[in-house]
């Protein structure tokens, strides 16, 4: 299969075209978290032809994952998520270079990895990891996409160097956020937010204006709302960047 035939829908799309698709093909992308959001993100990035995708996750597949994490199957329970995901994604598009890191990431670890990445996506499910991603991306001046989903609600945003950062938006309130195992998650909401994260990333890589703001999804009403992001001049994380 030739690249031109695989990506013909993008090549013939006026806002994307050859230049936009080349931006995707050349991109070096990292993804933190291979849960419900991360599985959807990874599948769309790989199917769209990102040049390389580095996957970060330390977890194993459990039976409770199977309702919304579509890279995994019943026979994968107990296996490392990174290894299973790499195998399935490579089969989907062997043109994409895949690298896996079976670790729980922290700021220092991410800063080293960001030296070779153009964009990072965070699909983790905890405040500590998101803060580590925010700080590492601020230090490396690398843009990143944040996504979160719980119960029937989701949020996502693209944070760019020089703009509002994650801490500007959430401040201390983020420390009170629940996690999915404790509060539950509607399967389709995870997919919607994950695909939307991939959409923001692909728009950015193709050189298109992906818009600004915090995108909030209400699964009960099936509606999106966009809230303005304002940089906090006294933010302890980004005030000096």
Q: For 12-34, what is the mean pLDDT? A: 96
What pTM does this model have?
A: 0.94
48 domain-assigned: yes
The answer for residues whose C-beta is within 8 angstroms of residue 39's C-beta and 6 or more apart is 68, 69, 70, 71, 72, 85, 194
Is residue 240, in this structure, part of any structural domain at all?
no
Domain span at residue 96?
Answer: 3-227
Residue 120 forms part of a structural domain = yes
Is 234 part of any domain?
no
Tell me if 241 is assigned to some domain.
Answer: no
pLDDT of residue 132: 95
- Which residue, 91, 20, 67, is CA-closest to 187? 67
Within-domain flag for 102 = yes
Q: What total of structural domains would you count in the chain?
A: 1
Q: Which of 195, 149, 145, 190 is CA-nearest to residue 166?
A: 145
Residue with tokens 């999915």: 180
Q: Alpha-carbon distance 226 to 211, whole Å?
A: 10
Average pLDDT, whole number, for the chain? 92
Q: Which H or E run includes 200?
A: helix 187-205
Contact status, residue 130 vs residue 146, Cβ threshold 8 Å? yes
27/20 Cα distance (integer angstroms): 11
**Tokens standing for 26?**
């050349």
Q: For residue range 90-112, what is the model confidence (pLDDT) as tens digits?
A: 999 999 999 999 999 999 999 99
Residue 3: per-residue pLDDT: 63
Which range among 24-33, 76-85, 166-175, 211-220 shows the weakest confidence by mean pLDDT?
166-175
- Report how far residue 20's alpha carbon sits from residue 14's, in angstroms, rounded to the nearest whole number: 9
In a domain, 75, yes or no: yes
- CB-based contacts of 22: which residues, under 8 Å, 6+ apart? none
| CATH assignment at residue 48 | 3.40.50.720
Q: How far apart are CA 110 and CA 122, in angstroms?
A: 11
What Å distances lie between residue 89 and 27, 44, 52, CA to CA? Answer: 17, 10, 12
Distance (Å, whole) CA 166 – CA 157 = 9
- Specify if 233 maps to a domain: no
């Amino acid at each position: 299969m030739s690249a031109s035939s695989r990506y013909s829908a993008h090549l013939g799309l006026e806002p994307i075209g050859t230049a936009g698709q080349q931006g995707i093909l050349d991109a070096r992308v990292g993804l933190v978290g291979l849960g419900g959001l991360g599985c959807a993100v990874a599948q769309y990035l790989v199917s769209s032809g990102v040049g390389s995708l580095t996957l970060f996750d330390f977890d194993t597949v459990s039976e409770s994952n199977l309702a919304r994490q579509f890279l995994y199957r019943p026979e994968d329970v107990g296996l490392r998520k990174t290894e299973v995901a790499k195998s399935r994604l490579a089969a989907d598009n062997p043109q994409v270079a895949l690298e896996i890191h079976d670790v729980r990431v922290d700021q220092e670890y991410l800063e080293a990895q960001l030296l070779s990445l153009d964009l990072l996506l965070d699909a983790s499910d905890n405040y500590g990891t998101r803060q580590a991603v925010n700080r590492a991306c601020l230090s490396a001046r690398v843009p990143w996409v944040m996504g979160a989903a719980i119960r029937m609600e989701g949020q996502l945003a693209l944070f760019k160097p020089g703009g509002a950062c994650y801490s500007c938006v959430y401040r201390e309130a983020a420390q009170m956020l629940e996690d999915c195992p404790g509060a539950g998650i509607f399967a389709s909401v995870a997919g919607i937010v994950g695909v939307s994260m991939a959409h923001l990333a692909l728009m950015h890589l193709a050189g298109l204006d992906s818009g600004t703001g915090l995108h909030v999804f209400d699964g009960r009403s099936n509606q999106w709302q966009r809230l303005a992001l304002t940089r906090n001049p006294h933010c302890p994380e980004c005030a000096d960047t």
